[in-house]
A = this chain, B = another copy of it.
């Protein structure tokens, strides 16, 4: 932990458009580009928080939607806030709930005021407004709190996209108004506008004028192509203030991340390493391995003998295959951990490459690594 009581982003270096930085918060520093493991309902699935620390994780993400439904924001506040409740001492970024309301909740009704919906767990009725989203995140005590926005599924019409983006802008103003950060807490705005350059520019410019502590790019990784996603980042980034962190929500694969860093993104979150791990897939520097595949059954080699993560270096692929085939929890534990280690090592490598002004080479090497066919032998 650092002694800072303020939220502060320092841009340490650049290499092309790639940025090396650090976010200081009262709960510790976040080295950027940063990957945030997703702690959906108060747990990064199948891993211990101590393990996340050992992997070099600076910040995790929590989902407002999940936590407001279960165990409830007021309950978490009574129990001392989300950090204390789950036993993670570092910074937590919480989303506003908007994305999960659109993807998980039922009977959604959106109007100017906010969104009402039925819980996917028990059907209970809830309302989420910009003000309530900020109140919940205040109760959780999140280091970084996100404005409520309207997330559209892809594809959608440009008119629909413009309407949702402008509603999200009005909600941004209300969110910032309602934000009651403790010292060192921050509120981020979210750029919307789909894959439409003019809408993205309008959204980014108007948010920047509001003066958020950081800016997210939302509404991507929802079904568009990687090319469309990267083009949208190319359009959007120049409209964001240089001296504020930029967060690409819900992204992504290792290649998505390296390409987004090349375009000036500082922060990422994605369920991919943990979800893939629970489904028997391993991210390695040899590509993505499907441990269900019978060809691993007799393979004595670890996932990667050079990894500093015991899950990747100490257990044979044969054993991992056995655990996955048997549906054993330990298989999910080991692969989730190995994948999170891969992601944190990926970010550390990216940060070093930027610091040493060889990011372009590093990016090419990663692209080449990931261009190999899946499951190719090293």
Which A positions have Cβ atoms within 8 angstroms of B? 41-43, 45-48, 70-71, 75, 78-80, 85-87, 278, 297-298, 300, 314-316, 318-319, 321-323, 325-326, 328-333
Interchain nearest-CB distance for A181 vs B (Å): 25
* A80 near B300: Cβ-Cβ < 8 Å: yes
CA distance A337 to B178 in the complex (A): 42
* B329 near A333: Cβ-Cβ < 8 Å: yes
* B45 near A330: Cβ-Cβ < 8 Å: yes
Contact of A328 among B41, B75, B297, B323 (CB under 8 A): B41
Contact of A322 among B47, B71, B314 (CB under 8 A): B71
* Integer count of this chain's copies in the complex: 2
* A75 near B316: Cβ-Cβ < 8 Å: no
Interchain nearest-CB distance for A178 vs B (Å): 26
* A329 near B45: Cβ-Cβ < 8 Å: yes
- B-side contacts of A332, CB under 8 Å: 329
Residue of B nearest to A75 (CB): B298
Contact of A319 among B42, B328, B330 (CB under 8 A): B42
* B325 near A70: Cβ-Cβ < 8 Å: yes
* A297 near B45: Cβ-Cβ < 8 Å: no
CA distance A18 to B210 in the complex (A): 75
| Contacts A329-B329, A329-B333 known; 15 new A-B pairs at CB < 8 A | A42-B322, A43-B329, A43-B330, A43-B331, A45-B330, A48-B330, A71-B322, A71-B325, A75-B298, A75-B318, A78-B298, A79-B316, A80-B300, A85-B318, A278-B329
- B-side contacts of A328, CB under 8 Å: 41-43, 45
Residue of B nearest to A310 (CB): B50
CA distance A70 to B85 in the complex (A): 40
Residue of B nearest to A41 (CB): B326
- B-side contacts of A318, CB under 8 Å: 71, 75, 79, 85
- B-side contacts of A323, CB under 8 Å: 42-43
CA distance A297 to B72 in the complex (A): 10
CA distance A333 to B331 in the complex (A): 12
Interchain nearest-CB distance for A338 vs B (Å): 13
Interchain nearest-CB distance for A325 vs B (Å): 7
Across the A-B interface, give the 9 residue pairs with the lowest CB-CB distance, nearest first: A46-B329, A43-B330, A71-B322, A43-B328, A41-B326, A79-B318, A85-B319, A79-B300, A45-B329
